[in-house]
Every structure is written in structure tokens, then in C-alpha cells.
Amino acid sequence: MGLIKIFVPCYYVIMVAETITKNLYKVLQSIENPDGEFCKINFEKQGFCLKLKYSRQNFIEDTKKLLCNLNSSQKTEITSFFGFVLIENEQFTTFLGYPSVKNLVQENSPYFHQLFGLVEKFTVQNEICNKNYQIFSKEMNTILKAFPEFYTLIGKIQHHTHSYTVDIHTLKVLQGVMLNPLYKNLPKNDRRALQIAVLMHDITKKEGEIDKTHPYCAAKDTAFILNNIQIPSKQKEKICLLIRNHDWLERYNKGITPAKEFAEILKDGNNFEMLCILAESDLKAVQRNGVFYEKYCSVLDDGRKEISAILHKSFSAA
């Protein structure tokens, strides 16, 4: 015997979603204040990290220890109930998916019972506790209530090209986006969409390796994740479009996707401008002191000009 799903009344789910969404949007408005704590944090500071009460690494080690006497298929069978799979290689152990106890109740099987406790501790009972940044910690914990999937990024190592773990990279990108002068000119709905897109843009990124599939996979998973908050369908589509194309500059630079095709994909509203803001900040958040950005800033400028010219021409002709 393992776990069973429980029925949760629909009206209760809606009430919870309404509260979580309201709090999320309040925080997203707060953190974009250039004089607020979030925008003033130096994410490049040596040793800066998100301090979790129960870290991702401890969760992985505790799960490994719990299941150490089982074979790989047995491990997968058990962890799959909770929405994730352990991946072990010569360098480290990581996991794919999003651990969750949502709509599950404990049963008597020791493995399920104990793993339920670990997953609950990692997702439901967990929190960020950076004592020197109490406002920031409170804001991040509100975001994690809306997107507990973000816990899976905290402390996740990237390919050695990167100076930062995935979570710090993501927050550095978000900070850079919100401090970009062009961001301030966007309407509120587009600013919110861009903030959420940044938070989710690397949500599926594989640990310690180059992952060319992550824009598409992250967009696909985000479409599912956004069902947990109350968000208009058009806004949801925009967020997923931004995530799916956040690698547009690389595809443009390598000739994988021509400028005309990007112009067609991103012709609506401020989509292309938002992706240019995201691309600039994304490049600046790869390596310390913007070294990576310096290598590709001219390509960004060329791509911005060429695609903008096509969009302007198409708009004028219409």
C-alpha cells in the first residue's frame, strides 16, 4: 500500500488560489520598487545564497538514505508518487520533477510515510530565512507559496560557464529586468507577465549541464504550474510565449530561426521588447561583472534592430 489522493472541495481550492494570487501580485508590485530591498541586494556578493530552513541538498541526501536499500525501479516507483525522480551519476545526485504532497495522505508503508514527511518538510513547511534580508525573505516566501516548484532551483548547480546557481541567476535576472529603464514604460500587466516569466524561465534546467531543451520544457511546465493561481488565459499565454522564446538571441545568432520568423512569433503588443529586456538581463547574469554580456551585446543590438525594423515595416504596411 502507498498513498491515495483525497478530495478537496472546489470552493476551498478557489479561496486558497485567490489568496495566494492576491499576495503574489502584491509582492511583485513591491519588489519592482527600485528603492526597495530586493532591487538593492548585491547578488554578485561572494557567498550570497538563499538560505533554506531545509535545503535542497539535505532533502536529496535524506531521500537517498531513506531509499538506499531499494533498487532503482523501486526508488522510481516510490518517488514518482510524489512527482519526482532521483538521478544519480558519478558527480552528484539530483532529481527531476517537482516534489509535492498535494492531494495525498499518508499510509502505513514505512517508505511512503517517511518520504511524505521529507517532501512535506521540503515544500510545505520550508522557508527562506536570510536573517540580514528579512523583507526579501518574506517576499520570497510569498512567491514560494504561489510557486513551490521554485524550491527545486535553490542551490541547483549550473554548467561551469555560469557563475551562479540557478536560483541566484534567476533572481539576478529579475533584478536586472526591473531596473531596466524600458521596463518602467511597460503597462502593469506586461510587467507582471515579465516578472513571472523570469521566475519560471529556467524552472526545468538540468543540473550541471548545458540544457538546450529548457526554454520549451520550462514553458510547457509553467503552463501547468500557472493553473495553481488565478491568472487570465491571455496573460498565461504571454508568459509561456516569453519563456519558450527567451533563448531567441542564441537562435538568431546561430541562424537557427530567421529574423522574419521571430517577428511573426513576437508581433503582438510588447512581446519583442519584453524579450529584449529579458535577454539583456539574462546575459548579464551568466558570469560575474557582466563578462558574458560583453561577448554578445553587439549581437543583441543587431538582433533588436533587425527584428524591430521588420515589425515596424509590418505595422506601417497594416
Q: Is 197 part of a structural domain of the chain?
A: yes
What are the strands, taking DSSP E only, across 106-232?
A: none
Whether 256 is in a domain gets the answer yes
Q: How far is Cα 85 from Cα 95, in angstroms, rounded to an integer?
A: 5
Asked if residue 87 belongs to a domain, the reply is: no
pLDDT, residue 254, reads: 95
> How much is the pLDDT for 1?
41
Query: Is the model's pLDDT at 130 over the cut of 80?
Result: yes
Question: Is the pLDDT higher at 308 or at 316?
Answer: 308
Whether the model pTM is above 0.75: yes
Task: Tell me the pLDDT of the chain averaged across its residues.
Answer: 92
Whether 63 is covered by a domain: the verdict is: no
Number of domains in the chain: 1
pLDDT higher than 70, residue 316: no
Residue 257, exposed/middle/buried by CB under 10 A (0-12, 13-18, 19+)? middle
The answer to whether residue 177 sits within a structural domain is yes
Give the mean model confidence (pLDDT) for residues 117-126: 97
In-domain check, residue 176: yes
Residue 318 — very low, low, confident or very high, per pLDDT cuts 50/70/90?
low
C-alpha grid cell, residue 23: 499576495
Say which residues have a Cβ less than 8 Å from residue 290's Cβ, sequence separation at least 6. Answer: 283, 284
Q: Has residue 25 been placed in a domain?
A: yes
pLDDT band at 315 (very low <50, low <70, confident <90, very high): low
65: left (phi over 0), alpha (psi -120 to 50) or beta: alpha
Q: Give residue 39's domain range.
A: 4-53+127-317
Distance CA 264, CA 314 (A): 9
Question: Which helix (H) or strand (E) element contains residue 214?
Answer: helix 214-225
Asked if residues 304 and 280 have their Cβ atoms less than 8 Å apart, the reply is no
pLDDT for position 11: 53
Specify if 131 maps to a domain. Answer: yes
SS (H, E, C) 70-88: CCHHHHHHHHHCCCEEEEE
Q: What is the dihedral of CA 56, 198, 285, 169, to 10 degrees?
A: 0
For the chain, how many residues are written? 318
Section 187-212 average pLDDT: 96
Q: How far apart are CA 284 and CA 189, in angstroms?
A: 25
d(CA 316, CA 306): 15
For the segment 32-56, what is each residue's pLDDT rounded down to a tens digit?
999 999 999 999 998 899 999 999 9
Categorise residue 206: left if φ over 0, alpha if ψ from -120 to 50, beta otherwise. Answer: beta
Angle at Cα 158 formed by Cα 48 and Cα 120, nearest 5°?
A: 75
